[in-house]
Amino acid sequence: MKYAAVTDRLAHLGGAKWEMHLRAKRMQAAGLPLIALTIGEPDVPTPPELIASAVQAMQAGRTGYSNGRGEAALVQALAARYTARRGRVITPDQVLCLPGTQTTLYTILAGLVGEGDEVLVGDPMYATYEGVISASGARMVSVPLHPEHGFQMQAADVAARITPASRVLFLNSPHNPTGAVLTRSDLAALAEVAVRHDLWIVCDEVYEDLVFDGVTFVSPLDDPALADRVIVASSISKSHAAPGFRSGWCVGPSEFTARVLPLAEMMLFGNQPFIADMTAQAVSAPSPVAAGMASRFAARAALMHRMLDGVAGLAVNRPQAGMFALVDVRGTGLSGRAFAEGLLETKAVAVMPGGSFGAALDGWLRVSLTAPDDQITEACTRMIAYAGELT
């Protein structure tokens, strides 16, 4: 039978990148004890008051059909939250609610680009971006993010890759896997390129609430001059330790949300009202769990830096936000993949090869900071031992 070209474009972009994680899961299922630092799930349960809110809403009969944009109370709550956070008025018609940041990014790109268009995105990048861009039919154009610039995207690197087909500058701040947070001046320089070449700016801000102490988060949505070209996406997955609820949204120009609304309606026919009620409650107050996660993850990144940086050919990039630290293993002579495989097989520590997040990280590992401190300490000890055996 024949299938649409999208299935070919995505054939190698699904689970293949997570091979190391899946291998670790199989080993654990077979009863082998190991320290798993491959993925970043929040290290606390969803706050009980939010579970109670969803349950109450279900019991109150909030289980009927919704509408394509989202339940009125949630759309209002998000407009109020973004108005307060961004310092300019965001109206409900600028909001579209979708199941998680992932679906939201898919919808945004499907609404903005297609075959023949180009999307500029930083390399390294979150593992699904290549797929989400390919799904739209557009071509991904990688913009290298350099460790010597703290993995911040440089406007000159974007400008050098602009072609007549460039349509979208796809940002992620705070960034996964590097933990970099774009500064106001980085953003101003990037915005200047976007305006000069009439690009959309799409920014995945799912880690906004996990910014470490002393770091300032800045969004392109702050800048009224960019109002007609910026779309931001986020969810309660990280901020409220609630990824399974699949509750996300985007905020952009009202013309954009009006144009994309039918796409959301064709896909979903609306979200679940009981999840919308819970999310409205969640986004209307500071998260009860985000600050604790941010301080634990920052402390674990610092611990890894203290233990590993400059030892046995290893170097640690300290994140400014998020759930991961990067370890540069090039000094050991191994690629990230070979190091991760050896570490798993000989020391029972599972980490992701950096290459799963883009060719720029081929010589790196991505290590999740969501495991308890004693496991991070033990994993570092085993990494030093493994690296020591190589040199």
Ligand X SMILES: Cc1ncc(COP(=O)(O)O)c(C=O)c1O
Contact footprint for ligand X (CB under 6 A): 100-102, 126, 172, 176, 204, 206, 235, 237, 243, 248
Give bridge partners of residue 121 from the DSSP assignment.
142, 170
Smallest separation, CB 170 to ligand X (Å)? 11
Asked whether the beta carbons of 310 and 300 are under 8 A apart, the reply is no
Which helix (H) or strand (E) element contains residue 37?
Answer: strand 35-37
Smallest separation, CB 179 to ligand X (Å)? 11
Which of 68/99 has CB closer to ligand X?
99
Which of 105/343 has CB closer to ligand X?
105
Smallest separation, CB 89 to ligand X (Å)? 25
Residue with tokens 């990144």: 301
Residue 201: how many CA atoms within 13 Å on its side-chain side?
Answer: 30
Which of 128/254 has CB closer to ligand X?
128
Question: How far is Cα 84 from Cα 74, in angstroms, rounded to an integer?
Answer: 15
CA-nearest of 220, 192, 246, 187 to 82 is 220
Smallest separation, CB 355 to ligand X (Å)? 17
Smallest separation, CB 172 to ligand X (Å)? 5
Q: By Cβ distance, which residue is nearest to ligand X?
A: 100
Please report, for residues 211, 225, 317, 360, 384, the alpha-carbon distance to residue 327 in angstroms, rounded to integers and kept in the order given: 20, 38, 6, 13, 12
Smallest separation, CB 380 to ligand X (Å)? 23
Torsion of CA 129, 287, 278, 110, to 10 degrees: -20
Which of 66/172 has CB closer to ligand X?
172
CA 58 to the chain's CA centroid? 30
Smallest separation, CB 40 to ligand X (Å)? 6
Which of 179/273 has CB closer to ligand X?
179
Which of 235/332 has CB closer to ligand X?
235
CA-nearest of 112, 104, 90, 100 to 256 is 112
Which of 237/332 has CB closer to ligand X?
237
